[in-house]
Structure 1
Amino acid sequence: MFKLETDRLILRDMDLEDECAFVAMSQHAKYQRFYDESDCEPNKYRELTQLFVAQALEVPRQSFQLAVESKDSGKFIGTVCLRLEGNLQASMGCAFSREIQGKGLSIEAAKALANFGFSELGVQRIYAETISKNLAAIKLCKSLGMKQEARFENHRFFKGKWWDTVVLAILSTEWERFGQQ
């Protein structure tokens, strides 16, 4: 089983026991603000849990969709992922339960996984795409040293309206200069 540790967190492969907490996290109204209603169905998160468990067994591994566990409580508090793509690039994302937000835990988890991607996997560029109104996600990306590379107007349609998206990224050379290692 894959595992990374930080001062306060354990990042590990998701397992089927994480399903209930993952589903519960996805049902919070604030969590659902930037997702289409169909993307927030409990059954979708049950299916995603099974997918993430299966992806951890793939060889070569292309997706590190990890459960984030609090060392203090031993509880599942969110997910963080790094999906490998061609040309030494990877996309990154995360989702955390509302109860722990604002404590720097998402930054701690994302930083550990980005560092793993650059130092252990040899990734050259990590990027994230999010809805432009998702200020918390943008703030997280910028705290990792990512810079906005693009903005796509009217890029996603859900909740009865069009949403702009932004892409933020960081290169391995910038990561080294940013002092992340």
Structure 2
Amino acid sequence: MTTSSASATPPLPYTPGYPIRTERLDLRPVTDDDFAAIHAYQRLPEVCRYLYWGPLDEAGSRASVAAKAARTTLRDSGDVLQLAVVVRETGILIGDVTFVWRSREHRQGGIGYVFHPAHAGHGYATEASRALLKLGFEELRLHRIQAELDGRNTASARLLERLGMRREGHLRENEFLDGEWSDEVIYAMLAREWRDQQKEGRQRE
């Protein structure tokens, strides 16, 4: 018996139950009050080095925050969730994450993340990104989730490998960033790989 892509997805529109809670973090909608915390890392050249935007001035960050604040619900293919990542114990916003519903028909999604470097080394980005994979595979019942990154961004590649995503493609000089050609690398995970990973985790407990 096969299941159609329409019946495999939850009723639309779909809004996650906020906050999305992990062991240490809350993932919640962005608000205007988050401007200062988000601008603090969006203005940093080292944060934007491998991204398609920035560094942003105050006006740019205000526009970014307004756009993120509106992206809290999925209605159809191409829609995006952009959520603030907050350390529950301190209430400090340390970054934001993105979930893209790429295709309803083919049950495809994507993830992305940007974090303040001052909070690196604690596993927060990995923890928050794993929550997005869980949302995609367990709530939206997607078949495949991918992430793209600049080929020079080795730190991001290590993060995706920690999540259990596998490197699927390396596109040579696929993008023109900061005045030079750069490679794009694609990582992905399938639903069955996610289920196997969760099963292995339960067996170790």
Query: When the two structures are superposed, what TM-score results if normalisation uses the length of structure 1?
Result: 0.91
1:57 to 1:115, Cα distance in 2 relative to 1, 3 A: closer
Post-superposition Cα deviations, 1:22-66, rounded to whole Å, max 9, x if no partner, equal: 111112232122135x53222333212111211225646932211
CA RMSD of aligned residues (A): 1.9
Give unpaired runs (5+ residues) of structure 1. Answer: none
- 1: CA distance, partners of 2:149 / 2:31: 26
The one of 116, 121, 135 aligned to 2:135: 116
CA distance in 2, matches of 1:29, 1:71: 27
TM-score, length of structure 2 as denominator length: 0.81
Q: Which has the larger radius of gyration?
A: 2
Q: Is 1:126–2:142 an aligned residue pair?
A: no
Residue 125 of structure 2 is matched in structure 1 by: 106
- Within a 5 Å distance, the mapping from 1:65-144 to structure 2 comes to 65-86=82-103, 87-144=106-163
CA gap of 1:174–1:58, structure 2 versus 1, over 3 A, is closer
**Aligned partner of residue 130 in structure 2, secondary structure:** helix
Paired AA for residue 34 in structure 1: Y
Give the aligned partner of residue 27 of structure 2.
11
Q: CA deviation at 1:106?
A: 0.6
Asked if 1:45 is matched to 2:57, the reply is no
The answer to whether the aligner puts 1:158 opposite 2:177 as a matched pair is yes
- Asked whether the equivalents of residues 73 and 80 of structure 2 are also in contact (C-alpha less than 8 Å), the reply is no
- In the alignment, structure 1 residue 172 sits paired with structure 2 residue 188: no
Distance 1:124 1:85 in 2: 11
Shift of 1:15: 1.1
Structure 1 segments of 4+ aligned residues over 4 angstroms from their partners? 57-61
How far, CA to CA, are the matches of 1:103 and 1:93 in structure 2?
18
Alignment size in residue pairs: 180
- Give me the whole-angstrom Cα distance separating, in 1, the residues matched to 2:165 and 2:73: 30
Which moved further from structure 2: 60-69 or 118-127?
60-69
The gaps in structure 2 that reach 5 residues or longer are: 1-16
For residues 61-112 of structure 1, what are the alpha-carbon distances to aligned partners after superposition, in whole Å with 9 as ceiling and x for unaligned? 9322110001121011001111101111111000111111111111111111
> Which residue does the alignment assign to 1:147?
166
- CA 1:83–1:58 in structure 2 vs 1: closer, same or farther (change >3 Å)? closer
Structure 1 residue 170, shift from structure 2 partner: 0.2
